[in-house]
Amino acid sequence: MIVVNTETVPGFVIAGVKGLVQGNTVRAKHAGRDIAAGFKNLVGGELKGYTELLTESRRQAVERMMAQAQQLGANAVVNVRFTTSAVTAGAAELYAYGTAVVLAKPSA
């Protein structure tokens, strides 16, 4: 499955559009991460626990989006975008979405 944030894929033409696909995950903060983040806020630096949380969230959201595209018979997702939102205190949603398409090599 090809997944890109552009409207086209070099070397391919869009032979069919299957529709909008999306994947999301809602994650809550971990108390241990919050304590470590509180200390980091005092001295500065990367909040590695949150970086790992967001990386895993993006991976899961993209996997779910790709699974939905596969169910529709697509072999690619174009125009992929990400967004986040706060769901409740201490929990956030990461949402990935794009357009499921069927790519083909251009005919000569």
Residue 89: per-residue pLDDT: 72
Q: How far apart are CA 30 and CA 8, in angstroms?
A: 39
Token readout for 20 is: 């909008």
Of 107, 105, 74, 97, nearest to 21 by C-alpha is: 97
Question: Which whole-number Å values give the CA distances from 105 to 3, 19, 38, 102, in the listed order?
Answer: 16, 20, 52, 10
Q: What is the CATH number of the domain that holds 85?
A: 3.30.110.70
The total number of structural domains in the chain stands at 1
Span 65-86, mean pLDDT? 96
CB 91 within 8 A of CB 28: yes
Supply the DSSP symbol for 8. S
Given a cut of 90, whether residue 75 has pLDDT beyond it is yes
pLDDT in tens, 21-74: 999 999 886 555 555 555 555 566 777 777 888 889 999 999 999 999 999 999
- pTM for the structure as a whole: 0.83
Q: Which domain holds residue 45?
A: 2-104
Q: Is the pLDDT higher at 84 or at 67? A: 67
Task: Please give the share of the chain, as a percent, with pLDDT higher than 90.
Answer: 61
